[in-house]
Amino acid sequence: MKIGVNVPNFGPGTGPDVLRRWAQTVEGLGFDLLMVSDHIAVTADVAEQYPAPFYEPFTTLAWLAGVTDRVRLGTTVLIAPYRHPLLTARMAANLQQLSGGRLVLGVGVGWARQEFEALGIPFQRRGRLTDDHLSAVREAWENHDDYRSGQIPIWIGGNSDAGLGRAVRLGAAWHPLRFTLPWLREALDRMKAVADEQQRPAPTLAPRIALRLTTAPVTGPGRLAGEGTIEQIVDDLEQLRLLGSDTVVLDPFNGDPRETCRPQTAWQALATVAACWEPSEHHT
Query: pLDDT tens for residues 83-140?
Result: 999 999 999 999 999 999 999 999 999 999 999 999 999 999 999 999 999 999 999 9
CA distance 163 to 177: 11
Coil, strand or helix at 113 = helix
Taking 50 as the pLDDT cut, the residues of the chain under it are 280-284
Q: Write down the pTM of the prediction.
A: 0.96
259: nearest Cα among 4, 6, 5, 10: 10
Q: Give φ, ψ of 28 to 5 degrees.
A: -65, -30
Rounded Cα gap, residues 91 and 58, in angstroms: 7
Q: What is the CATH topology of the domain spanning 2-276?
A: TIM Barrel (3.20.20)
pLDDT of residue 169: 94
CB-side neighbour CA atoms (13 Å) of 225:
25
Instruction: In whole angstroms, give the CA distance from residue 194 to residue 166.
Output: 10
In 3D, which of 66, 51, 58 has the Cα closest to residue 14? 51
The 10 Å Cβ neighbour count of residue 170 is 18
Q: Does residue 90 sit in helix, strand or coil? A: helix
**Alpha helices, DSSP H, located in the chain:** 16-28, 44-47, 57-65, 85-98, 113-119, 126-143, 161-170, 181-198, 230-242, 263-277
Predicted local distance difference test score (pLDDT) of residue 145: 87
